[in-house]
Chain A
Amino acid sequence: MTRTFPPRPTLLYGIAMTSVAALAAVALSSCASDTNASEQADGGTLVYATGDAEPTCLDPHVGGNYPQALISTQYLEPLVGRSADGTIEPWLATEWKASDDGLTWDFTLQDKVTFTDGTPLDAEAVKANIEHLQDPDTQSSTGYLAVEKIKQVEPVDATHVRFHLSKPDSALLESLSQQWTAIQSPAGIARGMEKNCADPIGTGPFTVEKWTPQQQVTLVRNNDYKTSGPEADHKGAAHIERIDWRFIPDAATRYAALTSGEVQVIDNPQPDSIVAAEKDGSGIEHINAPRPGSTNRIELNSGQAPFDDIKVREAFIRAANPDPGIKSLYLKTATRSNSLLASTEPTSISDNTLFRANPKTAEKLLDEAGWTAKDKDGVRMKDGKRLTVRFPVSTNQSVAAEQSLFEQIQANAAAVGFEVILNPVDLSTWYGALGKNEYEAVSAPYTKVGPDVLRILYHSDGIVPAPSGYFANHAQLADPEIDTLLDEASATLDADKRTKLYADAQQRILESYTVLPLYDQQNHFLVKGATGVTTLGTVATPTFINTRLGS
């Protein structure tokens, strides 16, 4: 459309911006003053605003992504939980035992528990859930991988269930602690996908009352709640009566709704909102709960030129120098990581000597690798080819601060002669580029409980695409030694041996210079006008079992 230009844009914008700034100051000062403690009472409605995508199905068995884990934490519960230090704890299952060969697992279930529709939670129900995950019609993507090695489920009696495995699986308990393998009512499952997507039935502290797409899901208290998880500070039902689970995609709007008192809890706040919340007297509580599994990291495609040469990979990593960018863009809300695994994983190892920035070393390595010529733009050349790094960026996964960080890394790498082409695209296009091998660098976080995520990401099996074209090993590492370490770690039931094997595997992967770790998968919550919000030690999703309204 045609538009006329304002006669004096600078003056008008100046006036507009100044008045906005003044009003913002007024707004903030009025927010800061209402921190008087109020009476706490049971009941009431808590409003939670999420910035994650709205789930397309509320049953986390179907597909299986983080938004589904977030909301299903409120109404579905897993067989086992996990404490903050990584210890597996009882939940729907009270005890478990593996046979010496690791092929048979016996679980004892809590007695006299029913789902909210009255169906008993028994061995048959567990069997129905594993079968639901493994049924191709369920279209499970995450949960079915977690229970892949379960060959058969044998109900021994009402409260005892036996799993027969095709191969020993040291990650079984960690996999079963995830929301994607949570246990739901078999009668609910039997209603068929469309119905079960709208309101899955579980044992959790809340039940799904109504889902209004693009607006909210209303959750109501389960008054007969009995199956307290590891985070619960009391037996029995939750204090609050309802949760309005709202979808507010814009981060600034979410934060405005929190400070105005419209909502009590938000996720995915921007770094500046976290900084404002951290200030004394803001009345806002900040919960920092990194997601388990991998860190946010850049992976270099070692499957093709130029990164099939370890010298070129190391040169890129030495030149990238992400530290100043992380400090300035994340305003100290994110800490630099030198590890493949989240800092919350007890098995994670870190090695900062490998990632120290040094442009001189980078130049030397590129010279040694034969990238000595330079074109008129200062991009290094070899055999007539430019040293180009295609770096597709998923705008659905990388927040604004991260996209800016990649731009700084692009500039730092350019200083030693790399040409980095950042290409911000939507999720579907991004996966398409990876599937077609049109990338040299990529950032793709992966959430899973426990170190078994290393097998998914760095075992050579992970280069073979799934039927959808997706493969998880973006570094395209095919190192028999790493494969052996990961296979052994997967098979052993000796915890110390497992930790050692994973440590060796991590060291070898880090030394391959295929990965540049950046920081934990950022997962922050801000709370105002409620207390007792905690996150699970599994996939770091919030639980409101202890929550009360008021401050």
Chain B
Amino acid sequence: MRAVLARLGSAVLVVWITATVVFLALRATGDPLEAILGGPGSQAGPEAVARATQSYGLDQPFVVQYLAQLWRIATLQFGDSYARKQPVSELLAENVPPTVLLATLALLLAWVLAIAGLLIAATARGRFGGLVRSALSGIETVASVVPQFFLGAVLILVFANGLGWLPVTSSGSSPAGLVLPVVTLAVPIAGYLAHVLHGSLAEADAAPFAVTARSRGASEARVFFRHTLRHAALPGVALSGWAYGSLLSGAVVVEALFARPGLGRLLLEAATVRDVPVAIGVVTVIALLYVVVMLVSSLLEHVIDPRLAKAVVA
């Protein structure tokens, strides 16, 4: 119980800090009136400006505006978008699901790819096995450093233009359209994840229980799935929480590249025109998502490792 409260406390803190940073950053570098009056460089007349200023409460003291913004977040009423003449909650409702779908699938795929690689490495034998292992380690390294926009462009060129197997762009959740963006997002995380799992797997392999299992004649695959993976997965699960955050930020690139709707594009647009309510709405949602994922990943750690359940959660 105390642990959950502590988590919630830190979640509130995170949301408050991010909201404050966004509010100050956007207000310090541009005038929200621009967004209201049709974008920067607006030549709207004095009367139009005066009315907009009043109706959005921009004539109030800065502190009052800031507190009003915080109150809106606390009540999860993000107000109306300055630029698009619709409520922020509507925009979020439209754009949260596609991004969450994208990031979640990418994380799952990253795990599948990483485990597949490790399994192959663990079960390959002899001299050939050595070759396979070094090849995999090379792929791992390249995967974890390949820039996403480059990878995405190559995938489009090969699978959409060259082979014609998949569409270039995907609107929403058509399965075929999801493949390339999910792969683009998953590959760097998969490489990084495999790298982390690799190290912990080597440790687990040398542990007494793995040696015992092998001496009883268990196959490599059996040892991998029954014994070592479980041990090795822990750092991977902890990493997944962090990885999810990076997937959400990677969504900006992928959503632009594959012309998908989502939080990344929404945030980019809002920042460009200084649409403060939308920007704050998006970062709040992202912060909340991040907190939820962190909670889930620590729960999972407990499930995988019963010993942790007895320890006190910090």
User: Are the C-beta atoms of A260 and B43 separated by less than 8 Å?
Assistant: no
Q: List residues 49-73 of chain A with CB under 8 A from any CB of chain B.
A: 49, 53-54, 56-57, 62-65
Known pairs A193-B85, A467-B44; A428 contacts B274 (CB<8 A): yes
A212 to B172 CA separation, bound complex (whole angstroms):
10
Known pairs A12-B138, A139-B48; A466 contacts B195 (CB<8 A): no
Most chain-A CB neighbours within 10 Å: which of B84, B95, B161, B246?
B161
Known pairs A6-B141, A215-B261, A248-B259; A428 contacts B30 (CB<8 A): yes
Give the dominant DSSP class at B's interface.
helix
Q: Given the complex, which residues of B lie within 8 Å of A136, measured CB to CB? A: 44-45, 47-48, 50-51
A156 within 8 A of B: no
Residue of B nearest to A11 (CB): B138
Q: Given the complex, which residues of A lie within 8 Å of B50, measured CB to CB? A: 136, 467
Query: Per-position contact with A for B25-41: 1 when CB-CB < 8 Å, else 0?
Result: 00001110110111111
**B134 CB to nearest chain A CB (Å):** 9
User: Are the C-beta atoms of A468 and B44 separated by less than 8 Å?
Assistant: yes
A324 within 8 A of B: no
Query: Per-position contact with B for A10-40: 1 when CB-CB < 8 Å, else 0?
Result: 0010001000100110110011000000000
A214 to B142 CA separation, bound complex (whole angstroms):
32
User: Are the C-beta atoms of A470 and B269 separated by less than 8 Å?
Assistant: no
B60 within 8 A of A: no
B20 within 8 A of A: no
User: Are the C-beta atoms of A139 and B44 separated by less than 8 Å?
Assistant: yes
Q: Given the complex, which residues of A lie within 8 Å of B31, measured CB to CB? A: 428, 432, 468-469
User: Are the C-beta atoms of A214 and B38 separated by less than 8 Å?
Assistant: no
User: Are the C-beta atoms of B261 and A253 separated by less than 8 Å?
Assistant: no
Known pairs A23-B157, A247-B259, A256-B161; A6 contacts B138 (CB<8 A): yes
User: Are the C-beta atoms of A140 and B48 separated by less than 8 Å?
Assistant: yes
**A326 CB to nearest chain B CB (Å):** 25
Residue of A nearest to B83 (CB): A56
User: Are the C-beta atoms of A428 and B40 separated by less than 8 Å?
Assistant: yes
Q: List residues 150-200 of chain B with CB under 8 A from any CB of chain A.
A: 153-154, 156-158, 160-162, 164, 167-169, 171-172, 192, 195
User: Are the C-beta atoms of B272 and A426 separated by less than 8 Å?
Assistant: yes
The interface size bin for chain B is 35 or more
A315 to B157 CA separation, bound complex (whole angstroms):
46
Known pairs A63-B39, A193-B85; A213 contacts B94 (CB<8 A): yes
B52 within 8 A of A: yes
User: Are the C-beta atoms of B157 and A20 separated by less than 8 Å?
Assistant: yes
Q: Given the complex, which residues of A lie within 8 Å of B219, measured CB to CB? A: none
User: Are the C-beta atoms of B42 and A63 separated by less than 8 Å?
Assistant: yes
Q: Which of A20, A141, A216, A260 contacts B168 (CB 8 A)?
A: A260
**B211 CB to nearest chain A CB (Å):** 29
The interface size bin for chain A is 35 or more
User: Are the C-beta atoms of B85 and A27 separated by less than 8 Å?
Assistant: no
Known pairs A214-B95, A428-B274, A470-B43; A260 contacts B160 (CB<8 A): yes
A353 within 8 A of B: no
**A137 CB to nearest chain B CB (Å):** 6
Q: Which of B37, B91, B144, B259 contacts A63 (CB 8 A)?
A: B37
The number of residue pairs between A and B whose CB atoms lie closer than 8 Å in the complex comes to 200
A543 within 8 A of B: no
Known pairs A1-B246, A27-B161; A142 contacts B43 (CB<8 A): yes
Residue of B nearest to A15 (CB): B142
Known pairs A3-B144, A215-B172, A427-B272; A137 contacts B51 (CB<8 A): yes
**A292 CB to nearest chain B CB (Å):** 18
Q: Which of B36, B40, B43, B161 contacts A145 (CB 8 A)?
A: B43
User: Are the C-beta atoms of B42 and A214 separated by less than 8 Å?
Assistant: no
Q: Given the complex, which residues of A lie within 8 Å of B144, measured CB to CB? A: 3-4
Q: List residues 414-435 of chain A with CB under 8 A from any CB of chain B.
A: 426-432
User: Are the C-beta atoms of B157 and A4 separated by less than 8 Å?
Assistant: no
Q: Which of A144, A212, A428, A472 contacts B45 (CB 8 A)?
A: A144
User: Are the C-beta atoms of B85 and A57 separated by less than 8 Å?
Assistant: yes
A166 within 8 A of B: no
**A430 CB to nearest chain B CB (Å):** 7
Q: Given the complex, which residues of A lie within 8 Å of B160, measured CB to CB? A: 256, 260
Query: Per-position contact with B for A136-152: 1 when CB-CB < 8 Å, else 0?
Result: 11111110110000000
10 contacts between A and B (CB under 8 A): A23-B162, A31-B161, A56-B39, A141-B43, A214-B95, A257-B168, A260-B168, A262-B167, A428-B40, A432-B30
B interface residues (Cβ-Cβ under 8 A, vs A): 29-31, 33-34, 36-52, 81, 83-86, 91, 94-95, 138, 141-142, 144-145, 153-154, 156-158, 160-162, 164, 167-169, 171-172, 192, 195, 246, 256-259, 261-262, 265-266, 269, 271-274
A interface residues (Cβ-Cβ under 8 A, vs B): 1, 3-7, 12, 16, 20, 23-24, 26-27, 30-31, 49, 53-54, 56-57, 62-65, 136-142, 144-145, 193-194, 197, 212-216, 246-250, 252-253, 256-257, 259-260, 262, 396, 426-432, 466-470, 472
Given A56-B85, A470-B42, 19 other A-B contacts at CB below 8 A? A1-B192, A3-B145, A56-B273, A57-B38, A57-B84, A141-B41, A212-B94, A215-B171, A248-B169, A248-B259, A249-B256, A249-B265, A256-B156, A428-B29, A428-B31, A431-B40, A466-B44, A466-B45, A468-B33
